[in-house]
């Protein structure tokens, strides 16, 4: 049942509100034919590239999933909201078993964005969009119930009202690093292990080749699912009314990919297909990062970009001048504490390691399930690594690194002391310093101190969102307030399953049950307040 608020939103649907679909895949570098890698065929993604704009310089701001998703959903850097450590909530059993003392001073917490920061989908919903997520959230905080109309394995644009514009996310998980684990069912074999390319930082062994081949097999299976989504849009007559955005949540889920601040961990495919065919088959090399996705999506929907967002619009009529740099962070990975910052202009990558006594290849319990890890451990023990393999075998890291992808695409030759690149080093180092200062990098604090002093404002436990208050005016309008600054208020009427966002007082028939919940991101949500609308209002 639609409330008055939704009826008002529907009345404002216009042709300026395009449908938008995000197809997000996991743990995948641009190992695709349209990016010049012809190891396997990916016809559906190739179609998107032919009919859309292919971005060659797109990056995750952090090379691991949950912190990356926190940036995608808020438009803020993970280091600005306290979501940079993997994970903020309850650690995995494997991580605790490996190092139980690692979490001794780290409470169970959530990222806490500044007052007023929302999941960007709330702005879309307030503008009348039907927002669905199928199905991963994993934002380093529990999303308010107002973030999505529907989120789960069955969420789909087909559940919207007739004529309602939609924003739909489809998250394809088959390329996740766990797709190489021995206990996982294999995708159909397509790639020949004997013919796959082996990056120079890996030993060329049967295990390594098999894991790489299996990764390509998973990419082929994923491509089929992309084709299925495009087919559904065509069947519904919506493909030529919908902006389709295809990307990966970070780099390949193999060692020195995922969790690594090199291009192998942050460089992602990004393709945007426009319904009017604009830019079909073209290539865009401007630097783009995940922090830009939320403001860009709002702009595509014709909505203003909140001042709190730290990214910029990179596509559509609202796009600004290309920015010169992408900034990257990597911090605690499960039980292993580390701190690395990096900046790239697309060609050069400058890396600053805050904890040089840590290895580059983290001993993360989850990643140890990848079979090729055994060969990497053996390579480290053998002492026979090639110069290109230093990053995966060294027990320590240099304080600074500098790479030129034009001559060194795999970023294995550290040119930090090369006098020919002294100016580049100085410029990128200064840009990184300015970014750290400008964004208030919380990763410079010990994690426990960051949580208690900055996220919880001196409290010893996670704050609680105040309960909402419901009142009814003399003319029958229902008003809802909450004393917690920055809290979102959601409500449901009767047996309604999805939650509406409270924006302004609304009318409601008498003898209806109203359920209300308030929630500031990073705080515990309030308990539900259940009211029966009568005269006067009485609590059940």
Predicted local confidence at residue 484, as pLDDT: 97
- DSSP secondary-structure letter at 205? -
C-alpha distance across the termini of the chain, in Å: 22
Which ranges in 236-342 belong to alpha helices (H)? 263-266, 293-300
**Quick check: bond before 87 cis, omega within 30?**
yes
DSSP string of 7-18, one letter each residue: HHHHHT--TTS-
In angstroms, the Cα distances linking 375 to 199, 211, 317, 335 are: 14, 11, 50, 23
Are 279 and 53 in contact, with CB atoms under 8 Å apart? yes
Domain containing residue 192: CATH number: 3.40.720.10
Q: Is 489 exposed, middle or buried (0-12, 13-18, 19+ CB in 10 A)?
A: buried
To the query of whether residue 9 is one of the catalytic residues in this protein, the response is no
Catalytic residue among 9, 34, 65, 131: 65
Q: Are residues 339 and 474 in the same domain?
A: no
- What is the distance between the alpha carbons of residues 504 and 476, in angstroms, rounded to a whole number? 13
Predicted local confidence at residue 181, as pLDDT: 98
Predicted local confidence at residue 96, as pLDDT: 84
Which ranges in 159-317 belong to alpha helices (H)? 206-235, 263-266, 293-300
Q: Are residues 65 and 165 in the same domain?
A: yes
End position of a domain, from candidates 461, 482, 513:
461
Predicted local confidence at residue 535, as pLDDT: 61
Residues 6+ apart with CB under 8 A from 328: 59, 60, 61, 62, 63, 261, 266, 341, 342, 343, 344
Q: Are residues 153 and 173 in the same domain?
A: yes
**Residue 525 is part of which domain span?**
469-539
- What is the distance between the alpha carbons of residues 149 and 127, in angstroms, rounded to a whole number? 13
Nearest CA-CA partner of 286 in 272, 298, 299, 273: 272
Predicted local confidence at residue 49, as pLDDT: 98
Predicted local confidence at residue 124, as pLDDT: 98
End position of a domain, from candidates 461, 481, 499:
461
- What is the distance between the alpha carbons of residues 423 and 417, in angstroms, rounded to a whole number? 11
Nearest CA-CA partner of 481 in 465, 472, 468: 468
- What is the distance between the alpha carbons of residues 84 and 60, in angstroms, rounded to a whole number? 12
pTM as predicted: 0.95
Q: Are residues 454 and 482 in the same domain?
A: no
Q: Are residues 146 and 189 in the same domain?
A: yes
Q: Are residues 253 and 402 in the same domain?
A: yes
Nearest CA-CA partner of 37 in 252, 206, 235: 252
Residues 6+ apart with CB under 8 A from 32: 42, 45, 46, 219, 269
End position of a domain, from candidates 440, 461, 482:
461
- What is the distance between the alpha carbons of residues 26 and 14, in angstroms, rounded to a whole number? 33
Q: Are residues 436 and 336 in the same domain?
A: yes
- What is the distance between the alpha carbons of residues 86 and 84, in angstroms, rounded to a whole number? 7
Domain containing residue 523: CATH number: 2.60.40.10
Q: What is the pLDDT of residues 101-155, one digit of tens each?
A: 889 899 999 999 999 899 999 999 999 999 999 999 999 999 999 999 999 999 9
Q: Are residues 221 and 287 in the same domain?
A: yes
pLDDT averaged per 10 residues in sequence order, the chain, 540 residues? 39 68 98 98 98 98 98 98 92 83 92 95 97 96 97 96 97 97 96 98 98 98 98 98 98 98 98 97 98 98 97 96 97 94 98 96 91 97 97 97 98 98 98 98 97 96 96 86 97 93 90 95 97 64
């Amino acid at each position: 049942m639609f409330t008055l608020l939704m009826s008002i939103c529907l009345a404002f649907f216009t042709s300026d509100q395009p449908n938008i679909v995000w197809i997000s895949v996991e743990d995948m570098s641009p190992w695709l034919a349209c990016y010049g890698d012809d190891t396997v065929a990916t016809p559906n993604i190739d179609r998107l590239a032919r009919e859309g704009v292919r971005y060659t310089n797109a990056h995750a701001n952090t090379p691991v999933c949950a912190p990356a998703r926190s940036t995608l959903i808020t438009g803020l850097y993970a280091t600005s909201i306290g979501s940079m450590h993997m994970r903020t909530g309850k650690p995995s059993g494997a991580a605790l078993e490996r190092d139980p003392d690692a979490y001794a001073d780290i409470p169970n917490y959530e990222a806490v964005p500044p007052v007023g920061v929302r999941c960007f989908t709330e702005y879309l919903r307030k503008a009348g969009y039907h927002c669905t997520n199928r199905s991963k959230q994993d934002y380093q905080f529990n999303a308010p119930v107002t973030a999505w109309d529907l989120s789960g394995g069955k969420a789909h644009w087909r559940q919207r009202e007739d004529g309602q514009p939609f924003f739909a996310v489809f998250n394809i998980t088959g390329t996740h690093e766990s797709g190489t684990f021995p206990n996982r069912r294999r995708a159909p074999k397509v790639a020949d292990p004997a013919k796959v390319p082996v990056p120079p930082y890996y030993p060329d062994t049967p295990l390594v080749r098999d894991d790489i081949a299996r990764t390509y097999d998973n990419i082929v299976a994923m491509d089929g699912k992309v084709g299925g989504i495009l087919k559904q849009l065509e069947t519904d007559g919506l493909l030529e009314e919908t902006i389709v955005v295809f990307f990966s949540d970070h780099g390949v889920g193999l060692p020195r990919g995922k969790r690594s601040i090199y291009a192998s961990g942050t460089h992602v495919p990004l393709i945007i297909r426009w319904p009017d065919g604009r830019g079909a088959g073209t290539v865009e090399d401007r630097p783009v990062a995940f922090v830009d996705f939320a403001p860009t999506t709002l702009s595509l929907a014709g909505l203003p970009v909140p001042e709190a967002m730290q990214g910029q619009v990179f596509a559509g009529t609202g796009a600004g001048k290309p920015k010169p740099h992408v900034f990257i962070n990597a911090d605690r990975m499960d039980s292993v504490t580390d701190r690395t910052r990096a900046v790239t202009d697309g060609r050069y990558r400058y890396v600053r390691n805050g904890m040089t006594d840590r290895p580059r290849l983290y001993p993360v319990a989850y990643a140890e399930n990848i079979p090729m890890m055994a060969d990497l451990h053996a390579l480290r023990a053998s002492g026979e690594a090639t110069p290109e393999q230093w990053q995966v075998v060294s027990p320590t890291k240099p304080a600074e690194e500098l790479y030129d992808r034009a001559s060194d695409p795999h970023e294995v030759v550290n040119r930090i002391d090369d006098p020919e690149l002294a100016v580049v080093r100085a410029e990128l180092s200064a840009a990184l310093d300015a970014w750290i200062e400008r964004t208030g990098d919380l990763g410079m604090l010990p994690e426990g101190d960051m949580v208690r002093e900055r996220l919880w404002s001196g409290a010893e436990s996670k704050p609680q969102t105040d309960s909402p208050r419901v009142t009814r005016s003399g003319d029958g309008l229902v008003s809802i307030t909450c004393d917690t600054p920055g809290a979102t208020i959601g409500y449901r009427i009767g047996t309604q399953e999805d939650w509406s966002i409270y924006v302004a007082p609304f009318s409601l028939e008498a003898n209806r049950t109203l359920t209300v919940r308030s929630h500031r991101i990073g705080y515990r949500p309030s308990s539900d307040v259940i009211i029966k609308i009568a005269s006067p209002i009485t609590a059940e």
